Chains A and B, each alone.
Chain A
Amino acid sequence: MPLFRKFTAIVFLALLAGSAAQADNDVQGELTIVHPWSRATAPSQKAGGVFLKIQNAGDQPDRLIAIESEMADVASLHTTIRDGDVMKMRPVKEGIIVPAKGEAELAPGGQHIMLIGLRERLVKQTTFPLTLIFERAGRVEIVASVEAAGARAPSGAVGDHGQHGAAAGPAK
């Protein structure tokens, strides 16, 4: 059924294009930033977390050393440490290393970007820009999507096409 095949191909391409745009992957040289996302906040809530994955296709490791954002007074790298059943959050002063031909993940329960002193509320289904500063790659502008307040992962990240799109990103 040629018509059906054509239709499938169009749907597939549309999905690919849609998810690539939604994933907001930024590629700078050898780095790909996959699915930057955050969680909705209440108006009185003055802190928010940003999570993402950094893939490094290059032969040299890189290091995420700082974050800039207009959304908050301070944007810094934090990690959650589990000490028995006590949760502690601490700044990551030495930055986050992205190994050569490897990746670093900032995810709930671990390393994350913390926005402190939010200037505006993070509203579900909106996006906001921020800048990642790497030791080698320099400044990488990204756009994070805002998910539900209790989300564990960005919407559509499970079995999602965006990740494949992202993996193909550096070839562009």
Chain B
Amino acid sequence: MKKSTRIGILLAIVVVAVIAGMAQWLVIRNDDITQNANGLVTSVEIGGPFSLTDHTGRQVTEKDYLGNFTLVFFGYTFCPDICPTELGDIALALDELGDLSLAVTPVMISIDPERDTPPVLAEYVSLFHERLVGLTGTAEQIKDVADAYRIFFRRVDDPDYSYYLMDHTSFVYLLNPEGDVVSLLRYGTPPEEMASLIRRQLRS
């Protein structure tokens, strides 16, 4: 076994262990985990099919993004802190990749479809990156895709004001051209680290 393969397997085990050990909302069901004959965990099912509307109003599914790597972030536009920070970092990571970044489609899926209609998303995504795709949908469609990605989100009303905020998981997922989740990046991953991880995946 080549050294890089061994490291790769070790890394995969660590990633799986980290995922498995996460907070209660990230429930990995037994039937989501694929093991090989020796009991080695080879994949964890995260992601899958979705049906949503993009920021131009087009109906899309996961199939529309196959063939390219995809960086997926779940957020909302009425979010002054975490979402702009994360989207700014994604844009920086793509800049750092230069021409290689064309192999990656950045996507933000809204967990606040009530406010984030396609026109609202269209104005928002253009602030961060020219190729950033905004996706929204019905409450049910959003719940389905969030469940598939193990995203927790919850509306929080403030009794003092007539507005609401959203609690939400802030992972960034990297999907390969086949649509499989190959990496999971936590909030605060520096853009350079994001870029080098994407570069490694592009090469493999």
- Residues on A close to B: CB < 8 A? 39-49, 74, 78, 80, 82-89, 91, 108-109, 112, 114-117, 148-152
Contacts and interface: CB of A to CB of B under 8 A. Distances in A.
Interface stretch (B46-54, B73-81, B174-182): B73-81
A130 B161 CA distance: 20
Contact of B81 (A41, A46, A86, A109): A109
Interface residues of B, number: 39
B124 A42 contact: yes
10 contacts: A39-B80, A39-B84, A47-B79, A74-B161, A85-B23, A85-B170, A86-B168, A87-B169, A89-B167, A150-B88
B140 interface: no
A86 B23 contact: yes
A84 B169 CA distance: 9
Contacts of B161: 74, 116
A42 B80 contact: no
Interface string B138-169: 00000000000000100010101101010111
Main SS class of interface, B: loop
Given A44-B120, A44-B123, A108 B81 contact: yes
Main SS class of interface, A: strand
Interface in B86-100: 87-89, 91-92
Contact of A150 (B89, B119, B188): B89
A48 B80 contact: yes
Contact of B127 (A88, A116, A149, A152): A149
Contacts of B170: 85-87
Given A85-B26, A150-B89, 13 more contacts: A44-B77, A49-B84, A74-B163, A85-B22, A86-B169, A89-B79, A114-B80, A116-B163, A148-B127, A149-B127, A149-B128, A150-B127, A151-B88
Report the 6 A-B pairs with minimum CB-CB distance, sorted nearest first: A150-B88, A49-B80, A42-B123, A84-B23, A149-B127, A44-B120
Contact of B85 (A40, A45, A152): A152
Nearest to B92: A150
Contacts of B22: 84-85
A42 to B, nearest CB: 4
Contacts of A82: 187
Contact of B80 (A83, A86, A112, A117): A112
A85 B126 contact: no
A74 to B, nearest CB: 6
Contacts of A150: 84-85, 87-89, 91-92, 127-128
B204 to A, nearest CB: 25
B187 A42 contact: no
B88 A149 contact: yes
B187 A87 contact: yes
B199 interface: no
